[in-house]
Amino acid sequence: MAWKSNAKSGQIMAGGYGQGNESSQLSDPTDLIIDKESDSLIICDKNNRRVVRWPRQGNSSGQTIISNIDCWGLMMDDEEFLYVSDWEKMVVRRWQIEERNGTIVSGGNGEGNHVNQLNSPGFIFVDRNHSVYVSDWKNHRVMKWMKGAREGIVVAGGEGNGNDLGQLSYPQGVVVDQLGTVYVADWGNNRVMCWPEGAKNGSIIVGGNGNGKQANQLSRPQ
């Protein structure tokens, strides 16, 4: 859906024909990005195990650009490389558009909690140095993999599942600013955390007052 500022209703940009696996359908989409070069949406169509491209100008169907992938998160860098997390294979891959096989840039050493492993990677972020940040969902941490690295660095959480300021609980969306500060949606704790570069603990910047719909609460932020 696309919503203009102050609009009361939105416009369907992709899907809208019920749940299914036809080219006009989606099934549990989890993430999307805008490809400005082609003026299209790139969508992680999770239950259909594919990544699809959907032109923004009125097309009623999409094109599969990556198939047979258990995708969750998407990101594109300044060189038009596409990054996709695969939560079943425990990897993040970098793809050139139309490429058949991607390159592993994070994980790839099986399921686990060592610094060269991931456990159900979710959302991702790529900075201007092409370092990849991964919400390592079941490890309750955010990992940073520098370009070409064989192992990652814990930049948020990593102290088990919990609600202390050094912990996360099933982290989801992640964004990193130019100072290296990590902002992460702490799904299980109903809060958004801010983690300065090199810090052992983060700080709560949104929520943290239980699961609810009051102005000071969040409910499973992603």
Domain boundaries, the chain: 29-207
What's the token pair of residue 63? 């094109």
User: What global pTM score does this model have?
Assistant: 0.94
Q: Give the contacts of 146 (CB within 8 A, at least 6 positions apart).
A: 129, 131, 153
* Residue range 34-52, pLDDT digits in tens: 998 888 999 999 999 999 9
pLDDT of res. 162:
98
pLDDT score for 65:
93
The residues, any chain, with a CB within 8 Å of residue 109's CB and separated by 6 or more, are 90, 116, 117
Say if residue 56's pLDDT is above 90.
Answer: no
Given strand 103-107, what is the order of strands in its sheet? 71-76, 82-86, 91-95, 103-107
**SS3 annotation, the chain:** CECCCCCCCCECCCCCCCECCCCCCECCEEEEEEECCCCEEEEEEHHHCEEEEEECCCCCCCEEEEECCCEEEEEECCCCCEEEEECCCCEEEEECCCCCCCEEEEECCCECCCCCCECCEEEEEECCCCCEEEEEHHHCEEEEECCCCCCCEEEEECCCECCCCCCECCEEEEEECCCCCEEEEEHHHCEEEEECCCCCCCEEEEECCCECCCCCCECCCC
Q: Which band of pLDDT confidence, cut at 50, 70 and 90, is reported for residue 183?
A: very high
29-207 is a CATH 2.130.10.10 domain? no
pLDDT mean over 205-213: 96
Q: Residue-wise over 57-96: b if at least 16 C-beta within 10 A, else e?
A: eebeebeebbeebbbbbbbbbeeebbbbbbbebbbbbbbe
**Confidence bin at 6 (pLDDT 50/70/90):** confident
**Residue 156 pLDDT > 90:** yes
Residue 59 has pLDDT above 90, yes or no: no
- pLDDT-derived band at 115 (thresholds 50, 70, 90) equals very high
Q: Quick check: 58 pLDDT over 80?
A: no
Strands 71-76 and 82-86: antiparallel
pLDDT, one tens digit per residue, over 72-93 is 999 999 999 999 999 999 999 9
